[in-house]
Amino acid sequence: MKCRVCGDGAVIDLRRHNANFCADHFVRYCRQQVERTIDQFEMLSPGERPLLAVSGGKDSLAMWDLLVELGYDTDGLYVGLGIGDYSDQAGHYARRFASDRGLRLVEVDLRQRYDYDIPTAAATTGRVPCSACGLSKRHLFDRAAVDGNYDALVTGHNLDDEAAVLYGNTLRWQVDYLQRQRPVLPAGRGFPRKVKPLVRLTERETAAYCVLRGIDYLVDECPMAAGNKHVAYKEALNGLEVQSPGSKTEFYFGFLARMADRLEDEPTNDSSDTSDTGARRDGPTPCGRCGSPCDGEICSFCRLVDRTAGAEPVPVHVLSTRAKATR
Ligand code: AMP
Ligand code: FES
Ligand code: ZN
Ligand code: ZN
């Protein structure tokens, strides 16, 4: 197996590109893919200051490294979700990456700041954990980016994530979510610009990038993910990709090129589950409590805090066992 560029021994084969790369040229390939995505979708301009949401996993840490390498002065944002050991470990990896490289990491801890955590919120509301988790993260990401005057909020969503979300939204024809499924969403009143510069790289590629760049990341998956439909969509697409390399790229980028614009004026359907969809459901008036844009008087985040803050903490294993049982 030889590198497509220099002919040296290759360390990775990318079947969807019908190409193999040595370590050096693979790292360059990753940078080029991200640079191309940023330019094509006008995600960031030179000199802009992004805030990157960092989970401690491979994607967001690879994203941080790539943005810094491309010259963007990028701060990180870590949200402590209170998911037992998993969150403790995640925070550790995010902090270590930042301190090793002299980068700034902003931290928001749900328990300390709002007196709840994700397992307790899930138990109190009776909804799946990812629903409370997604709602809390979206709100806190927006807030931190706007309050910190950042030019954009970046997340480490990769091609596998976006193709899986697209698959789920298409299976249910969730037009309102499909309308918002772009790798860049413009800023609005109270919302930062949101961008996903990793959408051209797969999970396997971001993991390889981390290994080759010496980036230590949290390998474990969230213990509350059992029963999450997103995982099943990813598995289904992985099966297709083995049979037909390039399927995920064609599905996702084909949607962006041929379908996303056509859906702009489609009437929307109402959907109640906001987990894993990337949806932004709140409207244009300021929340009476926190000032974030919302539909009614109080935004969905403040309503979640009202319901869960101060409740008896529920340990993570109770919830993860329950999630497995309902699978
Ligand atoms: P996930 O929803 O866990 O697949 O994560 C998608 C992206 O959201 C990650 O690549 C990060 O950019 C961001 N993210 C997830 N969890 C956190 C967290 N606890 N703190 C900050 N950012 C996060
Ligand atoms: Fe962790 Fe949903 S809460 S995967
Ligand atoms: Zn090479
Ligand atoms: Zn609010």
CATH code of 114's domain: 3.40.50.620
Q: Which residue has the higher pLDDT, 42 or 319?
A: 42
Residue 2 placed within a domain: no
Residue 263 placed within a domain: yes
Residue 139 placed within a domain: yes
- Any idea which residue has 């294993």 for tokens? 317
Instruction: Give percent above pLDDT 70 in the chain.
Output: 93
Mutate which of 222, 233, 234 for ligand 2 pocket (most atoms within 8 A of beta carbon):
222
Q: How far is CA 146 from CA 2, 108, 293, in A?
A: 47, 15, 12
Please give the pLDDT value at position 133.
96
Cα–Cα distance measured from residue 237 to residue 242, given in angstroms and rounded to the nearest whole number: 9
Residue 17 placed within a domain: no
Tell me: pLDDT of 183 over 80: yes
CA 280 / ligand 1 centre spacing (Å): 16
Are 26 and 208 within 8 A, CB to CB? yes
CA 220 / ligand 3 centre spacing (Å): 31
Ligand 1 pocket check for 241: Cβ under 6 Å: no
Q: What pLDDT digit, counting tens, does each position of 204-225 carry?
A: 999 999 999 999 999 999 999 8
- Any idea which residue has 């801890």 for tokens? 109
Mutate which of 228, 277, 316, 319 for ligand 2 pocket (most atoms within 8 A of beta carbon):
228
Q: How far is CA 252 from CA 18, 85, 183, 265, 289, in A?
A: 19, 34, 10, 20, 38
- Expressed as residue numbers, the domain containing 72 is 26-326
Ligand 1 pocket check for 79: Cβ under 6 Å: yes
Cα–Cα distance measured from residue 142 to residue 146, given in angstroms and rounded to the nearest whole number: 6
Query: If you average pLDDT over residues 28-55, what whole number do you get?
Result: 98
Cα–Cα distance measured from residue 301 to residue 263, given in angstroms and rounded to the nearest whole number: 28
Residue 10 placed within a domain: no
**Nearest atom (ligand 2) to Cα of 223:** 1
Q: What pLDDT digit, counting tens, does each position of 266-313 carry?
A: 877 554 444 444 445 456 789 999 999 888 899 999 999 999 999 999
Residue 312 placed within a domain: yes
Cα–Cα distance measured from residue 52 to residue 101, given in angstroms and rounded to the nearest whole number: 15
User: Looking at the 3D structure of the chain, how many domains does it have?
Assistant: 1
Give this prediction's pTM.
Answer: 0.94
Residue 11 placed within a domain: no
Residue 199 placed within a domain: yes
